Amino acid sequence: MSVRIKKVVIRAFRGIPELELDLDGKSLLLRGENGTGKSSIVDAIEFFFTGKVSHLEGVRGLSLRRHGPHVNSNPKDVNIEITFNPDNISLNRNFTSEPHPPEGFVTYFQATQKGTFILHRSQILEFIMSQPKDRFRAIGSIIGIEPLDNVEIVMMRLRDELRGKVESKENEIVRLIKELSEALGKNITKVKDVLPALNEILEKCKLPSIKSLDEVDKHAEEMLMAVKKTESIDKIKAINEILEITKTPFIPQEIINELEAINKNVKSLLEDKVRVELSIADLLESGRKVIKKEKMDICPLCEQKIDRGRLLSRIEIRLKTLRELSEEASEIRRDSEMIISDMERISDEINSIISKIEIFPELSEEKSKLLDKADLLKDCMKKIESAKDLKREMPIQEANQLKEKIEHLVGSISLKCGQLLDEIGLTEEEKKVLEIVRIIEQARSKAKDISKVDSELQTYQRYYKLAEKIYTAFSDTKKTKIQEIYNTIQEDIERFYSILHPNEPHRNIELKVAL
């Protein structure tokens, strides 16, 4: 059933005290000077169908109940009545009640809740004048795809973060295998290579072999029992573990280098944002001076009624969307996630040292300083998270300073642990046993970590593949549907432009969405 508007009756709404329009299902062209109420008619129809007036919902957040009634009327006087054909059905909306359409009208009313209700001349011109590569975004403001853009951004962010997790776990496995190979003095490629390499070391030292990595703790305990200073076993074990953890730099220079590389993209996007904001500020300042001086209530550029708040709000939303959908932003999120994973690992190692030096009163000062550095590391991670979301630059200077402070402190802890070990007074033979214990415990720990990280990697790989499929399907479908919508309205857009600008050829209005 084709539904047409027969009559519109507007009472006490916006700039209209009372108006009756007999349309009889036909189109209507409104002409008149600024301030004569043309926009108020459109506002009234939008209010009838949607219960709101979109241009009053800009950054100003104006109250419709306060600014909707005519200046000489009260909210209770407002009423919009529309009569439809066929069947001469009349429906009303005011501030206390809404229309209840019959079943045959429901589809029409539901359609008004989606997309853009009012198509403004500025939106048509933006689309016509935009470059072909930007036309996809321009038509988005016409058909109202902002909610879909927001969904796409969430999907993209999840995909990027999962990809960063995958790459981080892959890098961690490479690092662990390298450290394991260095500890055993032999090239290790798989966890199953660890046990033969360990037994080879034990055999050279004429020590019993190990049947399984699960026996390492028991084997190490038995070897430590050979140390004469049995009352110092716990301290020796703790010192042994601390010395092992502190052998390698906590914050490798590679992390700082990667932060600097990521920050180049962050700075580029932030500078683009600042340039645009400065340009908008310059434009607004010039416009403000002209409008104030000439007491204008229309735009001096396009001669349309000004709604600066709503316009600025839409511009900022579109710019934010474009920045977050850019490939550079995607790369920043992905690489930042890898850095954050590295920082979390470093935090775990610092906490491990803190727990192990509890039994050494001589290291109480170092423990206090280490706790402070752990807090600074958390703060640095928060700043990296913020930079990942393009809210600030990467904390390069803080990370560099933290690296130097942690390395200096860890070096001091390692030196004191070595002195504490010397004070225990181990023989050369006992020191050799201690070194073997350190190697087998390190090998066991690294092998366990590799298995754990590999399991996490497989999980993240599954999640990433699923997220990539969902994101790609959503994005491609969105673009395909936009292309289909445009194909159906292209002739209307060309015709509308020709009516508005009869002496200006529209030329390239074609839209081809790249999939």
Model pLDDT, residue 60: 44
- Give the residue among 144, 119, 175, 109 at the shortest CA–CA distance from 346: 175
- For the purposes of burial, counting CB atoms within 10 Å of the CB of 297, is it exposed (0-12), middle (13-18) or buried (19 or more)? exposed
- Average pLDDT score over residue span 52-73: 72
Q: Which pLDDT score is estimated for 136?
A: 62
Q: Give residue 444's pLDDT.
A: 82
Over 179-211, what HEC string results?
A: HHHHHHCCCCCCHHHHHHHHHHHHHHCCCCCCC
Give 69-103 as a 3 state SS string.
ECCCCCHHHCEEEEEEECCCEEEEECCCCCCCCCH
pLDDT at 384: 93
pLDDT in tens, 152-182: 888 988 999 899 999 989 988 998 898 888 8
Confidence (pLDDT) at 491: 72
Write out pLDDT tens, residues 322-354: 555 567 778 888 888 889 988 998 898 899 889
- Residue 278, pLDDT above cutoff 50: no
5 by DSSP, 3-state: which?
strand
Asked if residue 426 has pLDDT above 80, the reply is no
For 5-16, the pLDDT digits (tens) are 999 999 999 889
pLDDT band at residue 281 using 50, 70 and 90 as cut-offs: very low
More confident residue, 355 or 131: 355
Average pLDDT score over residue span 251-265: 89
Whether residue 265 has pLDDT greater than 80: yes
Instruction: Provide mean pLDDT across the span 369-384.
Output: 92
- In this predicted structure, what is the pLDDT of residue 469? 96
State the chain's mean pLDDT as an integer. Answer: 79
Confidence of residue 397 (pLDDT cuts 50, 70, 90): very high
**How confident is the model at residue 2, as a pLDDT?**
79
Which range is least confidently modeled, 172-176, 296-300, 315-319?
A: 296-300
Residue 59, pLDDT score: 40
Instruction: Provide the pLDDT for residue 227.
Output: 62
* pLDDT at position 499: 72
- Per-residue pLDDT band at 307 (split at 50, 70, 90): low
